[in-house]
């Protein structure tokens, strides 16, 4: 008698994707509006760089807690909780006149948005191990669609000289309809997933210490550099190149389209040539284009180079996250969470640092300096030397 496959239908994953798009919209709110925020609250780049720091701190907290929450709440309940937190946070943020309260609210927004971003990734790692890299890239492609929508609306707001606070109120209104498919879907439980504890972390590290250390190092730098690239792009174009009002938002939307394309491409390529070789190929090319892009005095050439860089940058983080599939199902949720924590740490530290470089060394050096971190990511990949699919890596190096 044939045994029915327990692999859940992809319809379950598709139910996540409308909300994933909204989370991408929210993720790009600060990069899309940071110049408006600076103008409204009369602050400089260094102080404005605290908002990504606070937002990713909220995401970091959600990452630490999520494996505990999975044991107590269902996927639907966790997604609904994250949606409610973000909805309330955005609506209150749109009414605040104090910069410090405004910034602190992004701790809550980061926490709720973190839950909604991490859960589909954990669900994929837990239930679709054989297709993990492909589906992680697909999920992050939908996140990137939010990167397209996100900058467009602030650009419209700025062009028609509407209140900049609409940029935060509008995505809040989209959350409830995006939640409906999740509430209607039949999700499989994320069972047998160990809580993220010191014991589990030690076991994950013991699986392959060098692999773990270098991939964490690479994820911190790659995620932080990508966030910094997106955060300061509009500031570079408007302050250094004098692009017209709203035009930079259009560029950021095109960047989002390039991100979708890049993630779809590298998600299909990586199973054929291995994740390792794909990263080995795309990371140095991303570093090269990021380094060169700010220097031409032609804004058109700047934009073209930024878009090309994005196609290569876009594949890096989803492929790194797919490394969680190298671990057994009981540890995969915790492994994914650790990688996401590394991403959040990068988002906390690096955009703030780039903001300081912008302030003290200028926008050109600020944008170009991001390439150095991608170069360090490439070195970390070379040191790891895992020239095999990550699924094979597990079979050759099983946990004790």
Nearest to 107 by CA among 28, 168, 171, 54: 54
Nearest to 218 by CA among 32, 304, 342, 111: 342
Each residue of 320-367: pLDDT tens digit?
A: 888 887 777 778 888 888 998 898 888 878 888 888 888 888 889 999
pLDDT value of position 87: 96
Task: State how far the Cα of 295 lies from the Cα of 167, in Å rounded to an integer.
Answer: 31
pLDDT value of position 78: 94
pLDDT value of position 246: 66
pLDDT value of position 271: 83
Task: State how far the Cα of 240 lies from the Cα of 228, in Å rounded to an integer.
Answer: 17
Domain 10-185+195-396 has CATH 1.20.1250.20: yes
Enter the tokens of residue 323.
Answer: 């490394």
- The C-alpha angle with vertex 253 and arms to 18 and 113, in degrees rounded to 5, equals 40
Boundaries of every domain in the chain: 10-185+195-396
pLDDT value of position 58: 93
pLDDT value of position 152: 77
Alpha helices, H only, the chain? 10-27, 29-41, 45-48, 50-72, 75-93, 99-127, 132-159, 166-184, 198-207, 209-235, 247-273, 275-292, 299-313, 316-321, 329-361, 363-368, 370-384, 390-396
pLDDT in tens, the chain (400 residues): 333 445 567 888 999 999 999 998 898 788 778 878 888 888 887 788 788 889 988 988 998 899 889 888 889 999 999 999 999 999 999 888 888 899 899 999 999 999 999 999 889 888 886 777 788 888 888 888 887 777 778 878 877 888 888 889 989 999 999 999 999 998 888 876 677 788 888 888 888 888 888 889 999 999 999 988 887 887 788 777 888 766 777 787 788 889 889 988 998 898 888 888 899 999 999 999 999 999 998 989 999 999 999 999 999 998 888 888 777 777 888 888 899 889 888 887 888 888 888 888 888 999 999 999 999 999 998 887 654 344 444 444 443 3
Task: State how far the Cα of 218 lies from the Cα of 198, in Å rounded to an integer.
Answer: 22
pLDDT value of position 389: 41
pLDDT value of position 160: 81
């Amino acid at each position: 008698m044939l045994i029915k496959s327990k692999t859940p239908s992809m319809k379950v994953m598709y139910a996540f994707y409308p909300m994933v798009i909204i989370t991408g919209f929210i993720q790009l709110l600060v990069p899309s509006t940071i110049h408006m925020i600076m103008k409204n609250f009369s602050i400089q780049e260094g102080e404005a760089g605290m908002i990504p720091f606070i937002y990713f701190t909220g995401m970091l907290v959600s990452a630490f807690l999520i494996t505990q929450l999975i044991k107590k709440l269902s996927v639907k309940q966790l997604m609904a909780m994250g949606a409610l937190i973000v909805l309330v946070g955005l609506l209150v943020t749109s009414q605040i006149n104090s910069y410090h309260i405004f910034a602190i609210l992004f701790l809550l927004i980061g926490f709720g948005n973190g839950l909604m971003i991490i859960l589909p990734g954990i669900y994929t790692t837990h239930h679709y191990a054989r297709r993990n890299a492909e589906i992680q890239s697909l999920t992050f492609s939908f996140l990137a669609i939010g990167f397209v929508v996100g900058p467009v609306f602030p650009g419209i707001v700025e062009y028609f000289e509407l209140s900049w606070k609409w940029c935060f109120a509008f995505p809040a209104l989209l959350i409830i309809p995006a939640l409906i498919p999740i509430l209607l879907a039949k999700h499989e439980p994320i069972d047998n997933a160990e809580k993220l504890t010191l014991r589990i972390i030690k076991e994950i590290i013991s699986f392959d210490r060098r692999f773990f250390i270098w991939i964490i190092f690479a994820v911190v730098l790659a995620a932080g550099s990508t966030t910094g690239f997106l955060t300061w792009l509009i500031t570079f174009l408007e302050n250094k190149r004098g692009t017209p009002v709203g035009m930079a938002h259009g560029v950021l939307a095109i960047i989002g389209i390039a991100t979708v394309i890049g993630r779809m491409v590298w998600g299909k390529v990586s199973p054929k040539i291995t994740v390792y070789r794909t990263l080995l190929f795309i990371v140095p090319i991303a570093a090269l284009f990021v380094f060169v892009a700010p220097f031409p005095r032609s804004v058109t050439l700047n934009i073209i180079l930024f878009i090309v860089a994005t196609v290569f940058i876009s594949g890096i983080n989803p492929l790194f996250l797919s490394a969680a599939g190298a671990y057994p199902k009981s540890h995969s949720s915790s492994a994914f969470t650790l990688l996401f924590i590394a991403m959040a740490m990068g988002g906390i530290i690096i955009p703030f640092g780039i903001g300081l470089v912008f302030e003290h060394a200028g926008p050109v050096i600020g944008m170009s300096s991001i390439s150095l971190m991608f170069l360090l990511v490439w070195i970390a990949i070379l040191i790891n030397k895992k020239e095999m699919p990550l699924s094979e890596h597990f079979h050759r190096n099983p946990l004790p």
